[in-house]
A and B are shown apart, each in its own frame.
Chain A
Amino acid sequence: AQSVTQLDSQVPVFEEAPVELRCNYSSSVSVYLFWYVQYPNQGLQLLLKYLSGSTLVKGINGFEAEFNKSQTSFHLRKPSVHISDTAEYFCAVSDYGGATNKLIFGTGTLLAVQP
């Protein structure tokens, strides 16, 4: 069975500082990995996804993530955060090769950017 672990429930950071949000996954097969962002009182929207190819994936709003198969990780990074990046971030894995496109989400990490 597939699963996703986000160990940090909350990450406080000062504006313009770099940030890394951690995600580890468990899967017995190949994986597709996603990061979604949820701004306050809104639905989720896709930040980026890894399907294949280059292990460094660039997304919207200056975020990027690196797929590391040996460490089963897909950490999200941004070199300089803004107040507007304050949101909850969810890592997810999908059913590789399946016919349902279902996602399994982690528990989320709240990024709190302080001035």
Chain B
Amino acid sequence: NAGVTQTPKFRVLKTGQSMTLLCAQDMNHEYMYWYRQDPGMGLRLIHYSVGEGTTAKGEVPDGYNVSRLKKQNFLLGLESAAPSQTSVYFCASSYVAGAGTDTQYFGPGTRLTVL
């Protein structure tokens, strides 16, 4: 199993450009998450999905959109990138919501710089 993979690994954008980050998991997990990691702030949840075709907002959703058309994929979109979105983005998945007990499995991250 490849686990959770993220594409691309690195990206540099100019302000106002758009892009999509792809997360894929091969563990048949129901739940998927997008986080951003910034120095001194830990990981903050952007959006999450509790199943194919569903999405919900997390702690810091502004400026991002997501889609979960297939169970194994979770896409994160930036419509008009801003320097404040410079960050490392992590995708994670978990098997099923065991009332908060399940382990989340993380991808290797995407380092995004917005100039």
Q: Which residues of A pack against B, CB within 8 Å?
A: 6, 9, 32, 34, 36, 41-46, 49, 51, 90, 94-103, 105-108
Closest Cβ of chain B: how far from A14's Cβ, in Å? 25
Which chain B positions have C-beta within 8 A of A34?
Answer: 103
Q: Contact: A44 with B90, CB < 8 Å?
A: yes
Q: Which residues of B pack against A, CB within 8 Å?
A: 4, 31, 33, 40-45, 48, 50, 56, 58, 90, 92, 94, 96-109
Cα distance A55–B48 when bound, in Å? 30
A-B contact count (CB 8 A): 73
Which chain A positions have C-beta within 8 A of B92?
Answer: 43-44
Specify the chain A residue showing the minimal Cβ separation from B97.
A101
Choose one: A42, A90, A95, A100; the contact of B43 (CB below 8 Å): A90
Which chain A positions have C-beta within 8 A of B42?
Answer: 6, 90, 105-108
Choose one: A6, A43, A51; the contact of B108 (CB below 8 Å): A43
Q: Contact: B104 with A101, CB < 8 Å?
A: yes
Cα distance A45–B105 when bound, in Å? 7
Q: Which of A6, A44, A96 lies at the interface centre, i.e. has the most chain B CB atoms within 10 A of its CB?
A: A44
Which chain A positions have C-beta within 8 A of B97?
Answer: 98-101
Closest Cβ of chain B: how far from A48's Cβ, in Å? 10
Closest Cβ of chain B: how far from A102's Cβ, in Å? 6
Closest Cβ of chain A: how far from B57's Cβ, in Å? 11
Cα distance A95–B94 when bound, in Å? 14
Which chain A positions have C-beta within 8 A of B102?
Answer: 101
Q: Contact: B48 with A42, CB < 8 Å?
A: no
Closest Cβ of chain A: how far from B81's Cβ, in Å? 22
Which chain A positions have C-beta within 8 A of B101?
Answer: 32, 49, 51, 94, 101
Q: Contact: B48 with A102, CB < 8 Å?
A: yes
